[in-house]
Amino acid sequence: MRKVIIAGNWKMFKTRAETLEFLQGFLPQLDTTPDDRDIVLCAPFTDLGTLSRNLHGSRIQIGAQNVHWAESGAFTGEISALMLVEVGVRYVVIGHSERRQFFGETDETVNLRLKAAQKAGLIPILCVGESKQQRDAGETEAIIFKQLEHDLIDVDQEHLIIAYEPIWAIGTGDTCASAEANRVIGLIRSKLSNPDMTIQYGGSVKPDNINEIMAQSEIDGALVGGASLDPQDFAKLVNYKV
Ligand SMILES: O=C[C@H](O)COP(=O)(O)O
């Protein structure tokens, strides 16, 4: 049985005060959320301690948005897996397209981060996906297979989540058609040694399309940016119905 995970990726949004305000609005709405799904909030580093202190005993699990591969060292501005574990982090987003695009992330560094995260007991959420130009050129499958081939070298597929995030659908309102997302995720699954891996879809997931996305046979959850920032919207997402 594949685990369903709805994860919010707050990106570089929310101060400590805003995080507390979010929880105040969101937590009461979890009372009726079915327990067949896990909920994760991937927050900026500065919010992780606040989440940890305020979510103790809650069903929400905490995620970070990046991690360095070294255990410690002279790496100004970086954070280690152990530091994340220590503040109660369980998941970490790795290889998000924004990191690949703006911060020089490569398949090689993604692979290093994945292995370091797993070694410390974190569950990585590995993001893969194609750009608009690559899709238009008919390269979607080739690009994703290349990412998987390099990113997953010596990575434990039992403790891993993959998020398929077509870059052109991120933050654009231009959601990938759910049948197409299902097709690509099916292809991703066919390349894995663990066919029961949770594979999420990400890219303009909103309250008005979550039910259709979650009704797809290959899709095991969502990685949500914009709509995870609002407590009412995120509550609607975690309360999806199929
Ligand atoms: O990690 C989340 C994705 O980048 C999706 O962002 P979005 O829901 O704002 O399109």
More confident residue, 199 or 31: 199
Mark whether 56 is an active-site residue: no
Assigned fold of 4-238: TIM Barrel (3.20.20)
122 Cα distance to chain centroid: 13
What is the position in ligand 1's atom list of the atom closest to the CA of 163? 1
Q: What percent of the chain has pLDDT over 70?
A: 100
**Is residue 196 scored above 90 in pLDDT?**
yes
Mean pLDDT of 189-198: 97
What Rg value do the Cα atoms of the chain yield, rounded? Answer: 17
Q: Please tell me the residue having the least CA distance from ligand 1 atom 2.
A: 225
For residue 162, report the distance from its CA to the centre of ligand 1, in Å: 14
Query: pLDDT digits over 45-55, tens only?
Result: 999 999 999 99
Mark whether 149 is an active-site residue: no
**ipTM score of complex:** 0.99
Q: What is the pLDDT of residue 175?
A: 86
**Is residue 5 scored above 90 in pLDDT?**
yes
Using CA atoms, how far apart are residues 63 and 48, in angstroms rounded to an integer?
A: 8
What is the position in ligand 1's atom list of the atom closest to the CA of 203? 10
Residue 103: which pLDDT band, with cuts at 50, 70 and 90?
very high
Q: What is the pLDDT of residue 128?
A: 98
Query: Which residues are within 8 A (CB) of 178 and not within 5 positions of it... i.e. 6 or more apart?
Result: 201, 209, 212, 213, 215, 216, 219
Residue 174: which pLDDT band, with cuts at 50, 70 and 90?
confident
**Is residue 173 scored above 90 in pLDDT?**
no
What is the position in ligand 1's atom list of the atom closest to the CA of 227? 8
For residue 9, report the distance from its CA to the centre of ligand 1, in Å: 7
Judge whether 191 and 220 are in contact, CB under 8 Å: no
User: Which of 98, 170, 229 is the pocket-test mutation for ligand 1 (most atoms within 8 Å of CB)?
Assistant: 170
Mean pLDDT of 199-210: 98
Domain ranges (residues) in the chain = 4-238
The catalytically annotated residue of 68, 96, 98, 105 is 96
What the block records as the tokens of 187 is 């292809």
Judge whether 21 and 50 are in contact, CB under 8 Å: no
**Is residue 22 scored above 90 in pLDDT?**
yes
Residue 231, strand partner residues: none
3-state per-residue secondary structure call for the chain = CCCEEEEEECCCCCCHHHHHHHHHHHHHHHCCCCCCEEEEEECCHHHHHHHHHHCCCCCEEEEECCCCCCCCCCCCCCCCHHHHHHCCEEEEEECCHHHHHHCCCCHHHHHHHHHHHHHCCCEEEEEECCCHHHHHCCCHHHHHHHHHHHHCCCCCCCCCEEEECCHHHCCCCCCCCHHHHHHHHHHHHHCCCCCCCEEEECCCCCCCCHHHHHCCCCCCEEEECHHHCCHHHHHHHHCCCC
The catalytically annotated residue of 105, 130, 165, 218 is 165
**Is residue 40 scored above 90 in pLDDT?**
yes
For residue 170, report the distance from its CA to the centre of ligand 1, in Å: 5
pTM: predicted TM-score of the whole model, two decimal places: 0.97
Q: What is the pLDDT of residue 50?
A: 98
Q: What is the pLDDT of residue 184?
A: 98
For residue 200, report the distance from its CA to the centre of ligand 1, in Å: 12
**Length, in residues, of the chain:** 242
| Lining residues, ligand 1, CB within 6 Å | 9, 96, 165, 170-171, 202-205, 223-227
Query: pLDDT digits over 131-170, tens only?
Result: 999 999 999 999 999 999 999 999 999 999 999 999 999 9
Task: Put residue 112 in one of left, alpha, beta given phi > 0 → left and psi -120 to 50 → alpha.
Answer: alpha
Mean pLDDT of 100-105: 97
